[in-house]
Structure 1
Amino acid sequence: MRYTEIKSCYIGPEISPEQFIAEHFFLYLAKGTIEGYDGISKYHLKPGEYCIVRKNHLARYNKQKQDGEFEKVVVIFDTDFLEKFAIKHKVIGQNSINEASFVHINKSDLVPNFILSLMPYYNDGGEIDDTFSNIKREELLLILLKENPQLVDILFDFAPPEKIDLEAYMNRNYKFNISMERFAYLTGRSISGFKRDFAAIFSDTPSRWLIQRRLQEGYFLIEKKGKKPSDIYLDLGFEDPSHFSFAFKKKYGITPSAVLQK
């Protein structure tokens, strides 16, 4: 297979770069490696492997080039497309108990053959024209469902997130840098209900608690694990090293680098 001109092919609506996954998408890795994290487990994807990344979940991933190259194909299964597919093919999904953000799917010779079939449709920007986009997405989804019938309950569950255990969810996902509105939605609450429940559980505001929890984890990683501040600030949910250093010194009276040198 040859992908040298296709660095990232997206079929369907563009996906957001933020850590909240707004729509399901299929990810096929052609070159390089990906390490994903969903708050519980780490996932590794190697060339020729693929997975589904789930809607209404949190995820982040680090990519590594192979021989200077990193190439992937992403197919977005947005809600509008899935609802039309469900009507056309009479598909009914139920509430899925699978909570993983990255869903590994069974290997099939049909998938790499499908990836090859996309090549004639790429334009110069590594995209596929809307004329063929839905046809190719439908073809891929039929292949995936044939080999992985369990995906029906994951892809065709159109209900919003249900109200869940807020304390457990926040302790698991505090490192993800998303808005309070996203946290509220993912825990099945309005923003006012989220703030009210949060205060009752943690005796603090969400923003203050998140900063303190991330800083505690940062101190532990630096002091006990010898991690460099520059290597962990993003994973802790800080947008830049200066923000991390400023908040850290304000709380502990010492910079992260100084803790590392002790």
Structure 2
Amino acid sequence: MRVTNIQSCHLGPEISPEQFISDHFFLCLLRGSMVAYDGRKTYNLQPGDYCIARKNHLVRYTKYKDHDRFEKIIITFDEPFLRKFLERYPTDFSATINNDSFVFVQKETLIANFIQSLKPYYNGEETIDEVFADIKRDELLLILLRADPNLAAVFFNFGAPAKIDLEEFMNRNFRFNISLERFAFLTGRSLSSFKRDFYNIFHDTPRNWLRKKRLDEAHFQLSKNNLKTSEVYLEVGFEDLSHFSFAFKKQFGYTPSELTYGKNAK
């Protein structure tokens, strides 16, 4: 059921602008579309879709506007809120669930009605009046758990990520622009043990390896897949185009534009 007559809004703590999901959040897409990628799987969201974005996952988003508009509902379920909820509403969460970064929720009338119920509390600035914020978050979480009790295993798992295969993880996720502290956390290590294990595996420091790995990937994309420099530098984890061009020339001896120009001239 498509939700109408409400604009973008947000309840709960702000979500991180990083490519790292620090808190679970409920996402309802109202207008426009979105494609997300977590290093393993691509997720496509269309207007009217509901999903749970899961904490401690890496995700890159691409948003597509509809007539210059992209509207969504985001409701954050941070750990302090979830712990208080669990005290008020004891819940069994022994079930297991897959490790997808996005868990899609089946469309149903209760959720659509909940979204519509936000309209009276909407203050016109993408937020809901604080007086009602936790009440509405309680309401939504009760609806979600009733619709799919297995979601309790997602929401109420407060443990840190377990120690995992560092080599496999880094080769899959090197494109994500996050801090070394985040990489260490997601692989179940302290920063010092992450650096030590990393050197033992790759015989290089994380920063050097990430830079070279990202630049090699950029070179491949530019030379083999005909992508533009402006399309590539963000995709491989660089924040700044000029820094990317400088690092690229330092590693390969020519700029990205010289590579693509020379290729097109042949």
Q: How far 1:92 sits from its partner (Å)?
A: 3.7
Q: State the Cα deviation string for residues 43-90 of structure 1 (Å, max 9, x = none).
A: 111111111111111112011110221100100000011111112211
8 Å contact kept, 1:86–1:92: no
2:5 is matched with which residue?
Answer: 2
2:136 is matched with which residue?
Answer: 136
Q: What is the count of residue pairs matched by the alignment?
A: 259
Q: State the Cα deviation string for residues 133-180 of structure 1 (Å, max 9, x = none).
A: 111111111111111222111111011111111111111110011111
2:186 is matched with which residue?
Answer: 186
2:74 is matched with which residue?
Answer: 74
Q: Which moved more, 1:86-95 or 1:185-194?
A: 86-95
Letter in 2 for 1:219: H
2:158 aligned with 1:122, yes or no? no
- The percent of aligned pairs where both chains have the same amino acid is 55
8 Å contact kept, 2:97–2:150: no
The whole-number CA distance in structure 2 between the counterparts of 1:115 and 1:242 is: 43
1:233 is matched with which residue?
Answer: 233
The whole-number CA distance in structure 2 between the counterparts of 1:104 and 1:257 is: 41
Q: State the Cα deviation string for residues 101-134 of structure 1 (Å, max 9, x = none).
A: 1121222121111110000001131211221111
**Matched residue SS, 2:149:** coil
8 Å contact kept, 1:36–1:62: yes
1:53 is matched with which residue?
Answer: 53
8 Å contact kept, 1:92–1:156: no
8 Å contact kept, 1:27–1:74: yes
2:145 is matched with which residue?
Answer: 145
Q: How far 1:24 sits from its partner (Å)?
A: 0.3
Letter in 2 for 1:248: F
Letter in 1 for 2:154: I
The whole-number CA distance in structure 2 between the counterparts of 1:18 and 1:194 is: 20
Question: Can you give the 5+ residue segments of structure 2 that lack an aligned partner in the other structure?
Answer: none
Q: How does 1:160-239 map to 2 (within 5 A)?
A: 160-239=160-239
Q: How far 1:22 sits from its partner (Å)?
A: 0.8
The whole-number CA distance in structure 1 between the counterparts of 2:96 and 2:186 is: 15
Q: Which moved more, 1:100-109 or 1:89-98?
A: 89-98
Q: How does 1:234-249 map to 2 (within 5 A)?
A: 234-249=234-249
1:113 is matched with which residue?
Answer: 113
Q: How does 1:95-114 map to 2 (within 5 A)?
A: 96=96, 98-114=98-114
Letter in 1 for 2:37: Y
8 Å contact kept, 1:96–1:157: no
**Matched residue SS, 2:222:** helix
The whole-number CA distance in structure 1 between the counterparts of 2:93 and 2:167 is: 29
Q: How far 1:97 sits from its partner (Å)?
A: 5.2
In the superposition, the TM-score normalised over structure 2's length comes to 0.94
The whole-number CA distance in structure 2 between the counterparts of 1:69 and 1:84 is: 36
**Matched residue SS, 1:103:** strand
Question: Can you give the 5+ residue segments of structure 1 that lack an aligned partner in the other structure?
Answer: none
The whole-number CA distance in structure 1 between the counterparts of 2:96 and 2:171 is: 22
2:62 is matched with which residue?
Answer: 62
CA RMSD of aligned residues (A): 1.3
Letter in 2 for 1:100: D
The whole-number CA distance in structure 1 between the counterparts of 2:139 and 2:231 is: 41
Letter in 2 for 1:206: P
In the superposition, the TM-score normalised over structure 1's length comes to 0.95
1:44 is matched with which residue?
Answer: 44
**Matched residue SS, 1:150:** helix
